[in-house]
Amino acid sequence: MGPFQRVITSTLPRAYETAIAMGFAVDEQLEGLCLMDSAVESEVSWDAGFLAFAEAVRLNGAAAVFARKQAEFWRAVAEALPDGEAALLVTHGGFIEAGAVVSLPQADHRAWGRACSWCEGVRLGYEAGQFVEAHILRVNPEAA
């Protein structure tokens, strides 16, 4: 993985420590990458997986607002990158799934599988102002 033009983590120590353990210096820590509102959790469990988040987003409630904010932030990070560069965001369960399903709403979210676990995530491709592809990164792909 890498290199990364920017590395952003949540403000929780485990996210920062994960980036450092992976060998990346952290450029920024943001509280918005670690706080999930209880209204979101009442609609969908943080560990429910991609399809559950996609279904919750379609209800247009708190989970949809949360997911759209994640995707908007991801888009802003992507748009600020020079062409050909990448960013690494280290966050937590539910954040990844929420942002990914809104970033690629027409994708087969069922095929993306279960929720991401420790050291797992999504690598998104971004071109011409939009997310164009997702690769689910698994520690153990057979367990997806």
One-character DSSP codes across 38-65: HHHHHHS-TTS-HHHHHHHHHTTSHHHH
Structure confidence by residue, pLDDT tens digits, 75-113: 999 999 998 899 999 999 999 999 999 999 999 999 999
> In this structure, which amino acid lies at residue 4?
F
Please give the C-alpha separations between residue 24 and each of 19, 105, 116, 133, 135, in angstroms, as whole numbers. Answer: 5, 30, 20, 24, 21
144 pLDDT band, cuts 50/70/90, is low
DSSP E strands: which ranges in the chain? 6-10, 28-30, 87-90, 121-127, 130-137
Structure confidence by residue, pLDDT tens digits, 28-51: 999 989 888 899 999 999 999 999
Tokens of 144: 């997806």
pTM of the prediction? 0.91
Locate the domains of the chain by residue range.
6-143
